[in-house]
C-alpha cells in the first residue's frame, strides 16, 4: 500500500522539483536515453505537473501519486507486449501510431495505445524525451468526463514508448459532422456545450490545449458524450503557485483553427487561443466547412470575414441571435477583447442549451431552453 510522505518532506521535494523544472522542460536527461533516464525524467516532470494541476481533482490523491512516482511505481510497468495484445492499428500521425489493444490478463476492455516513433536523427535525446514525458505528465492527472482518460506510460522491448488511453468507440466529431448527415441543431449544440465545459476544466487546471479541432474530439460508443484528446502540443500557462497566468510561445496546431495573434505575436494568451479554436469548430459544425485556410491577412477568406463580419457567413438562419453574437465574439481577431470562456458559458445562449453530462452544469438554465430531452442519432460512419 502506498503511504503519504511527511508534509515537510513533500514541500522540500516540491521546491526541488520547481528548481529543476522551468515551463515544463526537462533539464537533466542523460545522453543515452535509457529506461532509467526516462523514469527519472517522468518522476521530475510529473511531480511538477501535479503541482500545476491543483490537487482538488476528484479521485486524485496528490500525495499518493507523488510517492508512487518517487518509487517508480504505477507509471512504468512491465514491457508493453507482456501486458497487452494488439488488436489492430487504427491510425498514425506525425509522432505516433495508434493501436487498439486489450490486456492479456484481465477483462475484455479495449484501450488505445499511442506508440511513439523512435527518435529521428535530427532530434536530440532531450527533445525526444521531453515530447513523450510532457504529454503524459499533462494528461495523466486530468479527471473529467469530457477529457479522455490516461492510464499509463509503458516501454516496449524495442525501445519505443507508448501511452495507454481509454477507447472512445463513437468515432470523431469530424467524421460525424463531415458526413453531412447530422443536421439536428439540438445535437450540435449539445456537443458544443460539452466541448466548452471540457475546455473550462482544462483552463481551470492551467492548461491550454492548443490544438482543438473536430478531429481531436471523440465520441463515446453511444455518440452522446464527447472526449477531448491529443495533448501533444498542450502547454501550462498557470501553476498552482501562480496567481497570474503567464503567456505561452510558439506556433502550433492545425492552420484553420490557429488564432490570428499566433501569426503576429511571439507570446500568446493560452485561454484566448482555445476560445478562438472553439469558434472555428462551431462554424464547422454549422456549415460543414472551415471558414478559411489560416487566420492571417494573406488569406482572402479571412480578410473577407474581417471586412464583412456576419455577412461573411453562408447563411444566418441556423443561428439564434444569441448564438450569432456568441460566435462573433469568439472570432474576435483581438484577443484582448475576445469573449472570455466564463462569460460565454454564462450567456443566455449557452445557459439555455440542454446537453449530455452527469452534472447539473449540462442542464438548461437559460430563459429559452434548447434541446430538452433531445435524442442523439447514431450514424454508422
Residue 359 has phi, psi (to 5 degrees) of: -120, 170
Distance CA 219, CA 168 (A): 6
Where is the binding site, in residues? 114
**Catalytic site residue from 82, 107, 158, 211:** 211
211 is catalytic: yes
Partners of 114 in the β-ladder: 98, 163
Task: Indicate if the alpha-carbon torsion angle 179, 182, 187, 188 is positive or negative.
Answer: positive
Residues annotated within a binding site for ATP: 114
List the beta bridge partners of residue 97: 92, 115
Annotated active-site positions, please? 211
Amino acid at each position: 500500500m502506498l503511504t503519504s510522505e511527511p508534509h515537510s518532506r513533500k514541500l522540500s521535494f516540491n521546491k526541488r522539483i520547481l528548481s529543476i523544472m522551468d515551463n515544463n522542460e526537462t533539464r537533466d536527461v542523460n545522453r543515452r536515453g535509457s529506461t532509467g533516464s526516462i523514469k527519472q525524467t517522468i518522476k521530475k516532470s510529473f511531480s511538477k505537473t501535479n503541482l500545476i494541476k491543483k490537487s482538488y481533482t476528484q479521485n486524485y490523491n496528490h500525495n499518493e501519486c507523488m510517492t508512487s512516482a518517487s518509487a517508480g511505481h504505477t507509471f512504468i510497468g512491465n514491457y508493453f507486449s507482456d501486458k497487452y495484445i494488439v488488436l489492430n492499428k487504427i491510425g498514425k500521425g506525425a509522432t505516433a501510431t495508434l493501436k487498439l489493444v486489450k490486456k492479456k490478463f484481465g477483462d475484455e476492455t479495449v484501450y488505445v495505445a499511442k506508440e511513439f516513433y523512435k527518435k529521428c536523427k535530427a532530434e536530440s535525446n532531450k527533445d525526444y524525451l521531453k515530447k513523450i514525458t510532457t504529454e503524459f505528465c499533462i494528461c495523466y492527472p486530468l479527471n473529467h468526463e469530457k477529457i479522455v482518460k490516461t492510464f499509463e506510460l509503458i516501454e516496449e522491448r524495442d525501445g519505443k514508448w507508448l501511452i495507454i488511453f481509454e477507447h472512445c468507440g463513437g468515432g470523431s466529431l469530424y467524421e460525424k459532422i463531415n458526413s453531412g448527415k447530422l443536421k439536428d441543431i439540438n445535437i450540435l449544440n449539445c456537443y458544443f456545450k460539452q466541448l466548452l465545459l471540457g475546455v473550462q476544466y482544462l483552463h481551470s487546471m492551467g492548461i491550454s490545449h492548443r490544438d482543438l479541432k473536430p478531429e481531436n474530439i471523440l465520441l463515446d460508443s453511444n455518440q452522446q458524450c464527447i472526449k477531448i484528446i491529443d495533448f501533444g502540443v498542450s502547454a501550462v500557462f498557470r501553476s498552482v503557485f501562480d496567481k497570474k497566468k503567464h503567456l505561452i510561445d510558439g506556433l502550433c496546431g492545425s492552420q484553420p483553427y490557429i488564432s490570428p495573434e499566433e501569426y503576429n505575436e511571439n507570446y500568446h494568451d493560452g485561454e484566448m487561443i482555445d476560445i478562438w479554436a472553439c469558434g472555428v469548430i462551431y462554424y464547422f459544425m454549422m456549415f460543414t466547412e472551415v471558414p478559411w485556410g489560416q487566420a492571417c491577412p494573406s488569406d482572402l477568406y479571412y480578410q473577407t470575414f474581417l471586412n464583412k463580419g456576419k455577412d461573411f457567413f453562408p447563411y444566418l438562419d441556423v443561428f439564434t441571435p444569441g448564438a450569432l453574437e456568441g460566435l462573433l465574439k469568439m472570432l474576435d481577431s483581438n484577443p484582448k477583447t475576445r469573449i472570455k470562456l466564463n462569460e460565454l458559458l454564462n450567456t443566455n445562449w449557452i445557459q439555455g442549451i440542454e446537453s449530455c453530462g452527469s452534472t447539473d452544469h449540462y442542464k438548461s438554465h437559460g430563459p429559452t431552453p434548447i434541446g430538452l430531452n433531445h435524442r442523439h442519432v447514431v450514424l454508422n460512419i
